[in-house]
Structure 1
Amino acid sequence: MDLRGGDLSRLRQLNSLTTIRALRETGPLTLSALAERAGLSRPSTKEVVDELASLGWVEEVSPSPGTMGRPARRYRFRADSGHLVGVDIGGHNVRAALSDLDGHVLAETRQPVEPDAPLDERLAAIERAVSGCLAASRKTPADLWAVAAGTTGVITPDGRIAFSAAVPAWTGLDLAGRLREMFPCEILVENDSRLAALAEFRRGAARDARDVVFLHVGRRMGAGLIIDGKVHRGFGAAAGEVAMLPESRWFHAPEHLNTSAVVPPGTSPEDAAGHTLTAARAGDLATLEELFRYVDDLAVGTAAMVLLLDPQLVVLGGGFSRSADVLLPPLRDRLEQRCIRPPEVRASTLGDECVVVGAIDHAVEHVDRRFFTPEAGPLPISR
């Protein structure tokens, strides 16, 4: 920390950020407890808290009902100063969730959409899903600080979809630009598998790991990578696109589950694999053969990433993670056969919610960088 030249405003900023971080990590604190955690004197802490309260970032917490005597004043960070939205733009559904600035989800909605829906229809489903969250929480678009969207494909840093195999109409779309037409706030667009990996790292099965391969398995296959505690995008934002390598056998792997003999005629693609996985769980031999073919294909691309990155952990996520009980044992077996040091393999704890939760976490990280780092400049008045 360089404070030469009597830069007291810089010192006040750092003290403010330290105080906010302590309140966000711990929850409501008394002045004495806050001073201890922030490493400040009690008078300095009181001065910082008063300034943060005037800006709208901190407020006093009412005493708990039934408290005897005169309780010490407690203060909390006003995470409800602003709101964030995460969106999962899937092939069959658009999910949206609204949260406060700490990422606590307050409302969720889902809008069905057909895989071959026209571009404008899919965009309209996004707007309906977000509007549903706003209505459920009695908020307006003006209350939003950021909307983060996750979708399939290679996403450029400015939010364009360079390529999408799962939704061809998406290719070339300036998705960030179209979302800015809907919502008057910061817009973030990221690959859905990458957001799912972030969610598992921040909240789910990978919270104790720093090097993770996340397998996003469902009607299509994808992967997200966490390297040294950070989401890895790659030089051209195309890291983890193993499915694009034909030899990995990932692109067509779900067909083993979608087209087995136990799937009733006319079953929608969204539900087909569930019949196969249920029959395999019951021990149906023919269905087990299809499941093993699927796992054989899944293991090829997974082993390639494991051998390259040597991760601590592989997380099985996405829609098929609901059947982790039948998928994980053969996957572990195949990785043990192929990998020098087989990693631990776990099931997702977030399931279908992993992308929308990861989008919320992505928005939280963006807001933190924007307002709550020394490089961000003075704290603004909250809105």
Structure 2
Amino acid sequence: MARLSGRDPSLLRRINSTAVLRVLRSQFGRPPLTLTDLAHATELSRPTVEGVVEGLVDAGLAAEAEEEPDTVAQAARRGRPARRFRFRAEAGYALGVEVGSHRVAAVLADLTGRFTGTVAHEVGEDVPEDRRLAEAHDAVDALLESSGVRRESLRAVGVGTPGIVEADGTVRLGTALPGWTGLPLGERLRERFRCPVLVENDANAGVVAERWKGAAVGAEDVVMVLVGLSPGAGSLIGGRLHRGFGGAAGEIGALHLLGREATPERLLSTTDEPLHPLDEVAVARVFALARAGDVQARRAVERFVQRLVHDVAALVLALDPELVVVGGWASGLDDVLEPLRRELERYCLRPPRVALSVLGEAAVATGALRLALDEVESELFSVDAG
């Protein structure tokens, strides 16, 4: 490997370009900056800044701002005005996609992370993988068309989906969706996009979203639990996503396999027979009956919450997070939150704060978008010599 030093002109250009680009991006939405402003902000010489800005304009990442009409008249009296430049947020876009059991969703943002559009479609849980992927592509196409964005303008795509996801985007195990186990999801999606595609577990995407724009803003150690028939959890440790060695961290839904006789179908049953079909509609009905005072339904909910508490407590004891965020099912979450908080205080040495998801069903797609933006930013602001 070649040795790099400050004498490497190409490396210096990249460092200078990154410094100027960061300042321009940080000032987006504010008055555009002159070359002198940029020189002061970056502590670079004005000639260096001028050369860098010209390169950024040629690359489409910066543009010279137009003068306001009244300023033009004033400038004509006092001479040529100073040139001002802005960051081109529209120079590219990042896309976040959720491919879930009951819906596919997509959210689009420009290079500053500003949302420019979103779309969601309902999908049946029994839909085969080819049709589910087609639904996801249809949602993306509709979003791009309504936003007036060309597919070629996408710089990165993030995808959140249930299951254990390997680094290359292959779903090693995905029992929630038909045909998902072993699906080379990343490879299939890259056939339709000319940019990096990152595939992540849905709970992992959810916790990233909550730290970005939700209940976990400012928190460094967070567990987010997606409450479902088979609950899953995403974790941040020191602000960094913890996937585990094989991407299976947080799969607390598998704890029921450790010698427990009661299955979710039995736990949520209000009769002597297992709850069937075991889907979110049936579970929501049980929660509604419990709220209405039905004795059998209340017992079923208590059993389910107790199981959930034990699963979450195991993760909390292992990771010692400052915050547990509860997301997932749109119905019944209020019934889960207080018992979970109470029982964690009972079981845990240092009980964490417990909060409901702020983003709700938008969390997975929003987290996938954040991962895509991280990929774009690593490209824009990299000074690696390659």
Do the two structures share a fold, i.e. TM-score over 0.5? yes
Give the secondary structure class of the aligned counterpart of 2:44. coil
1:127-206 correspondence runs (5 A): 127-206=137-216
1:347 corresponds to 2:370: no
Offset, 1:293: 2.4
| TM superposition shift of 1:6 | 2.5
For 1:309 and 1:157, how far apart are their aligned partners in 2? Answer: 23
2:326 to 308, 316, 319: 316
Deviations 1:9-60 (A, max 9, x none): 3222112112222232332442354444333344543432232112211123
Which residue of 2 is the match for residue 83 of structure 1?
A: 93
- 8 Å CA contact retained: 2:129, 2:178: no
In structure 2, the partner of 1:8 is 9
Q: CA deviation at 1:150?
A: 1.1
The amino acid of 1:161's aligned partner reads V
Amino acid at match of 1:334: E
After TM superposition, list the pairs within 5 Å mapping 1:233-272 onto structure 2.
Answer: 233-246=243-256, 253=264, 269-272=279-282
How do 1:331-370 residues align onto structure 2 when only pairs under 5 Å count?
Answer: 331-370=340-379
Write the letter of the residue equivalent to 1:372: F
Q: Verify: 1:26 aligned to 2:27, yes or no.
A: yes
Q: Closer, same or farther in 2 for the Cα pair 1:146/1:3, shift >3 Å?
A: closer
* Cα deviation code 1:275-306 (max 9, x no counterpart): 44455556666544433322211111111111
Secondary structure class of the residue paired with 1:173: coil
**Distance in 1, Cα, partners of 2:218 & 2:348:** 22
**Alpha-carbon shift at residue 186 of structure 1 (Å):** 2.1
Q: 2:63 aligns with which of 53, 59, 63?
A: 59
Q: Which has the higher mean CA deviation after the structures are superposed, 324-333 or 209-218? A: 324-333
> Which position in structure 1 is the counterpart of 2:78?
none
Match of 1:48 in 2: 52
Given the superposition, is the C-alpha separation of residues 328 and 15 from structure 1 closer, same or farther in structure 2, using an over 3 Å criterion? same
Which residue identity lines up with residue 30 of structure 1 in the other structure?
L
Match of residue 380 from structure 1? none
Q: Distance in 2 between matches of 1:280 and 1:61?
A: 61
Distance 2:367 2:40 in 1: 33
Which range moved further: 279-288 or 309-318? Answer: 279-288
Distance 1:353 1:255, change over 3 A: farther
Matched, 1:307 2:307: no
Aligned match of 2:133: 123
Of 97, 106, 112, the residue aligned with 2:116 is 106
The answer as to whether partners of 2:144 and 2:151 remain within 8 angstroms in 1 is: yes
- Please tell me the residue identity of whatever aligns with 2:57: A
Note closer, same or farther for the CA distance 1:90–1:252 as it changes in structure 2 (3 Å cut): farther
Match for 1:181: what amino acid? Answer: E
The alpha-carbon deviation at position 66 of structure 1 amounts to 6.9
Decide whether the 8 Å contact of 1:80 with 1:100 is kept in 2. Answer: yes
The whole-number CA distance in structure 1 between the counterparts of 2:264 and 2:296 is 17
User: Cα gap change, 1:256/1:67 in structure 2, threshold over 3 Å: closer, same or farther?
Assistant: farther
Report which stretch shifted further, 304-313 or 180-189. Answer: 180-189
Q: 1:255 to 1:347 in 2, by over 3 A?
A: farther
Residue identity over aligned pairs, in percent, reads: 41
Q: Distance in 1 between matches of 2:356 and 2:70?
A: 44
CA distance, structure 2, for counterparts of residue 254 and residue 33 of structure 1: 65
User: In the comparison of the two structures, how many residue pairs are matched?
Assistant: 371
Query: More displaced, 206-215 or 77-86?
Result: 77-86
| Corresponding residue to 2:242 among 222, 225, 232 | 232
| Gap runs ≥5 in structure 2 | 76-80
Q: Counterpart of 1:304 in structure 2: which amino acid?
A: A
| Higher mean displacement: 274-283 or 296-305 | 274-283
Letter paired with 1:23: L
CA distance in 2, matches of 1:26, 1:288: 54
- Taking the aligned partners of 1:325 and 1:75, their CA distance within structure 2 comes to 49
- Report the TM-score, using the length of structure 1 for normalisation: 0.86
Say if 1:212 and 1:311, in contact at 8 Å, map to a contact too.
yes
Cα root mean square deviation, aligned: 3.1
Contact 2:127 2:178 in 1 (8 A): no
Could you tell me how far apart the structure 2 residues matched to 1:130 and 1:12 are? 37
Mapped partners of 1:376, 1:359: distance in 2: 28
Shift in Å at residue 201 of structure 1?
A: 1.5
Paired with 1:324 and 1:123, the residues of 2 have a C-alpha distance of: 29
Structure 2 counterpart SS, 1:182: coil
Give the 3 Å change call, closer, same or farther, for CA 202–254 of structure 1 in structure 2: farther
1:135-176 CA-to-partner distances (Å, cap 9, x unmatched) read: 111233222222221111111111111111212411111111
Q: Secondary structure at the match of 2:116?
A: strand
SS in 1 for 2:179: helix
